C-alpha cells in the first residue's frame, strides 16, 4: 500500500510540466479559431445587410420616376455608417415598364470586419462583399 502511494507521488512529480506544455501548444490554435469565428460572423452579418440594401434599392428603382440618387439614399438608410463610407452602388434603371432594373452594392470586407487573420495568411484586403438584385420595372 505504501509503495502505491510513493509511485503516485512520483508520477505526479514526473508529470508536473505536461499541463503547461499542453496549454502552450493548444492555446494559440484556440485563439486563431476564436478570431476566425468572430471575423466570419461579422462578415456574415455585414453580407446580410448588403443583400438587404441591394433589395431595398431595387424596390425603389423599379418604381416609376426613380433616380439613381433616390436609390442610393434608400440604400444608405439600410446600411450602417461604417459600411456606407466605402460602398459603391451601381444602378441600371429601365426606360419602360417591363424592363429589367439592376442594383448592385459593393462594400470592402475590411470595412465590415477587422482583419484579424492576416497573421495566418488570410487577409481581407482587396476582397469585397457584393450583392446584385434584378427586378422588373413597373
CATH number for the domain including 68? 3.30.1300
Contact 47, 118 (CB under 8 A): no
| Residue 16 belongs to a domain | no
Residue 2 in grid coordinates: 505504501
Whether the model pTM is above 0.85:
no
| Residue 89 belongs to a domain | yes
Give yes or no for residue 11 having a pLDDT over 90: no
Q: How is 84-108 classified by DSSP, letter by letter? A: HTT-EEEEE--SSTT-EEEEEEEEE
**Confidence bin at 133 (pLDDT 50/70/90):** very high
How would you class 9 by CB atoms within 10 Å of its CB: exposed for 0-12, middle for 13-18, buried for 19 or more? Answer: exposed
Q: Tell me the mean pLDDT in the region 101-129.
A: 90
Give yes or no for residue 85 having a pLDDT over 80: yes
Q: Which domain holds residue 71?
A: 21-136
Q: Tell me the mean pLDDT in the region 84-102.
A: 89
| Residue 2 belongs to a domain | no
Give yes or no for residue 4 having a pLDDT over 80: no
Give yes or no for residue 17 having a pLDDT over 70: no
| Residue 44 belongs to a domain | yes
- pLDDT in the model for residue 1: 60
- pLDDT in the model for residue 24: 83
- pLDDT in the model for residue 20: 77
Number of domains in the chain: 1
**Confidence bin at 8 (pLDDT 50/70/90):** low
Q: Work out the percent of the chain whose per-residue pLDDT is above 70.
A: 86
| Residue 14 belongs to a domain | no
Amino acid at each position: 500500500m505504501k509503495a502505491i502511494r510513493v509511485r503516485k507521488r512520483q508520477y505526479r512529480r514526473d508529470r508536473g510540466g505536461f499541463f503547461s506544455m499542453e496549454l502552450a501548444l493548444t492555446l494559440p490554435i484556440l485563439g486563431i479559431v476564436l478570431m476566425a469565428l468572430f471575423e466570419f460572423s461579422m462578415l456574415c452579418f455585414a453580407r446580410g445587410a448588403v443583400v438587404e440594401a441591394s433589395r431595398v434599392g431595387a424596390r425603389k428603382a423599379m418604381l416609376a420616376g426613380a433616380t439613381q440618387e433616390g436609390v442610393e439614399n434608400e440604400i444608405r438608410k439600410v446600411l450602417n455608417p461604417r459600411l456606407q463610407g466605402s460602398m459603391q452602388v451601381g444602378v441600371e434603371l429601365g426606360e419602360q415598364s417591363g424592363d429589367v432594373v439592376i442594383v448592385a452594392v459593393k462594400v470592402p470586407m475590411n470595412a465590415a470586419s477587422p482583419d484579424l487573420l492576416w497573421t495566418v495568411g488570410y487577409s481581407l484586403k482587396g476582397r469585397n462583399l457584393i450583392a446584385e438584385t434584378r427586378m422588373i420595372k413597373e
